[in-house]
Amino acid sequence: MKFIYIDLKIVLRAVLLYVAFSSPAYAYVDPGSALLLLQSIFAIVGAALTFIKKPRQMIAKLFSRKKNNDA
């Protein structure tokens, strides 16, 4: 485990140095690419919310008491 931690530290430092000393790309992002990125973000957020909501409901149903309708 210690070996993996040291390698991860080296990789993180290398990435930080690369980002710090890189030059600007002057790239063009057209509206189609921007909308694709926005759609991907919405899909990820929607999937995460669905994944979180469904198990939460199942656990709540498991621990909740049933109501008696003996009125």
Strands annotated E in the chain? none
Question: Can you tell me whether residue 24 is helix, strand or coil?
Answer: coil
User: What is the pLDDT, as a whole number, of residue 2?
Assistant: 55
Q: How confident is the model at residue 70 (pLDDT cuts 50, 70, 90)?
A: low
For 8-46, write each residue's pLDDT tens digit: 788 888 889 988 888 887 877 788 888 999 999 999 998
φ/ψ of 65, rounded to 5, equals -85, 150
User: What is the pLDDT, as a whole number, of residue 51?
Assistant: 79
Give the span between the Cα atoms of 45 and 42, in whole angstroms.
5
Question: Where do the structural domains in the chain lie, given as residue ranges?
Answer: 31-64
Which amino acid, residue 40? S
Would the pTM of this model clear 0.85, i.e. be above it?
A: no
For 44-62, write each residue's pLDDT tens digit: 998 888 877 777 777 788 8
